[in-house]
């Protein structure tokens, strides 16, 4: 793995936040809108969690990536503008947190384009990164992302560090010189152990079994994954949701984790866009992943 990361670094780490808010419990279940308490649980993210997390990131000098569904941007435009104003990256996360693998191709196109339009209109950004809601990428989406000029996706789980994902329907990288930029997406892998949903989320009849981990348990898991990935020169990507990790004790614990990672020699802490741009600069041969 020597030579993969920028000089002086043996691994990379990224803090990412999925600002799902209400959208995560509305897509496929619009009746949840009737449940005021459930809506309030989700609203905590943009209302309280995001400002606290922005402050935490500033304290530790970290630039992060926030994946924002279009519906969240419409409902909390000022919050999304504050994320942008603080210098963080905004990524695409669907319009209403649609699960791509459960949608037709046309439905996926509609969600993708509507999300892009809203982020442009409200936050003035054109994201280069995409994360599939529920980390449930469809086989069609990579091509749709490439057609829209996306540089990277962060939804797959088959590697310890970023790679070039060959996209079906586009010219192979060897067909013409310079074609790689148009025939592959950078994939920045994630994994379930590095998500706060399984640790913290409990919504009766919607998600979770009622077991809620302590912040120390969650941090111990994330630190163990960090140690493992750092050792093998991998890319540690933590995914947190402001409605979960924005609560005071959890945010304080997250701050301790940030301090430890920033202080670890040889770790490149960067937003996903920078990690994707660096990966693209390596000129890797795209990996073809065949549908089952």
**Where on the chain is the footprint of Zn ion (CB under 5 A)?**
18, 20, 133
Distance CA 78, CA 97 (A): 20
Smaller CB separation from Zn ion, 20 or 140: 20
In whole angstroms, the minimum distance from the beta carbon of 18 to Zn ion comes to 4
Shortest reach from residue 171's CB to Zn ion, in Å: 32
Q: How far is the CB of 133 from Zn ion (least distance, A)?
A: 5
C-alpha–C-alpha distance, residues 70 and 130, integer Å: 12
Q: Which is nearer to Zn ion, 18 or 187 (CB)?
A: 18
Closest residue (Cβ) to Zn ion? 18
For Zn ion, the closer CB: 134 or 275: 134
> Of 46, 3, 38, 49, which Cα lies nearest the Cα of 21?
46
Question: Residue 290 Cβ, how far from Zn ion at the closest point, in Å?
Answer: 27
Q: Which residues pair with 66 in a beta bridge?
A: 17, 90
Strands 65-68 and 11-18: parallel
C-alpha torsion 94→237→148→288, nearest 10: -120
Question: Would you state the structure tokens that stand for residue 26, as one six-digit string?
Answer: 């509305």
Least distance (Å) between residue 24 CB and Zn ion = 5
Strand, helix or coil at 163? strand
Q: How far is the CB of 94 from Zn ion (least distance, A)?
A: 8
CB-wise, 20 or 153, nearer to Zn ion? 20
- The two tokens of residue 47 are 């209302």
Burial (Cβ within 10 Å: 0-12, 13-18, ≥19) of residue 192: exposed
Confirm if 6 and 12 have CB atoms less than 8 A apart: no
Residues paired with residue 68 on neighbouring β-strands, in sequence order: 92
Q: Which is nearer to Zn ion, 175 or 193 (CB)?
A: 193
Spatial separation of the C-alpha atoms in residues 234 and 245, rounded to whole Å: 24
C-beta of 98 vs 187, nearer to Zn ion: 98
Compute the least distance from the CB of residue 262 to Zn ion, in Å.
Answer: 25
Question: Exposed, middle or buried by CB within 10 Å (0-12, 13-18, 19+), for 9?
Answer: middle
- CB nearer to Zn ion: give 127 or 133: 133
């Amino acid at each position: 793995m020597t030579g993969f990361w920028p000089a002086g670094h043996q691994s990379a780490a990224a803090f990412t936040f999925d600002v799902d808010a209400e959208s995560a419990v509305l897509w496929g279940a619009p009746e949840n809108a009737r449940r005021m308490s459930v809506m309030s649980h989700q609203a905590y993210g943009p209302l309280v969690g995001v400002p606290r997390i922005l402050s935490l990131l500033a304290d530790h000098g970290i630039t992060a990536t926030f994946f924002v569904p279009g519906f969240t941007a419409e409902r909390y435009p000022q919050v999304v503008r504050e994320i942008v104003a603080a210098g963080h990256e905004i990524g695409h996360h669907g319009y209403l947190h649609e699960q791509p693998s459960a949608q037709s191709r046309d439905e996926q196109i509609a969600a993708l384009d509507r999300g892009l339009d809203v982020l442009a209109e409200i936050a003035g950004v054109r994201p280069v990164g995409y994360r599939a809601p529920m980390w449930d990428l469809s086989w069609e989406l990579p091509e749709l992302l490439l057609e829209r000029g996306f540089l990277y996706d962060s939804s797959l789980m088959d590697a310890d560090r970023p790679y070039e994902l060959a996209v079906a329907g586009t010219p192979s990288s060897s067909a013409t010189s310079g074609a790689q930029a148009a025939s592959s997406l950078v994939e920045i892998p994630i994994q379930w152990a590095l998500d706060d949903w399984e640790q913290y989320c409990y919504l009766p009849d919607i998600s979770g079994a009622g077991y809620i981990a302590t912040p120390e348990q969650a941090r111990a898991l994330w630190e163990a994954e960090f140690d493992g990935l750092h050792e093998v020169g991998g890319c540690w990507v933590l995914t947190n949701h402001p409605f979960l990790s924005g609560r005071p004790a959890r945010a304080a614990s997250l701050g301790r984790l940030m301090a430890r990672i920033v202080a670890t020699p040889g770790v490149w802490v960067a937003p996903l866009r920078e990690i994707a741009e660096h990966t693209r600069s390596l000129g890797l041969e795209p990996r073809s992943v065949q549908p089952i």
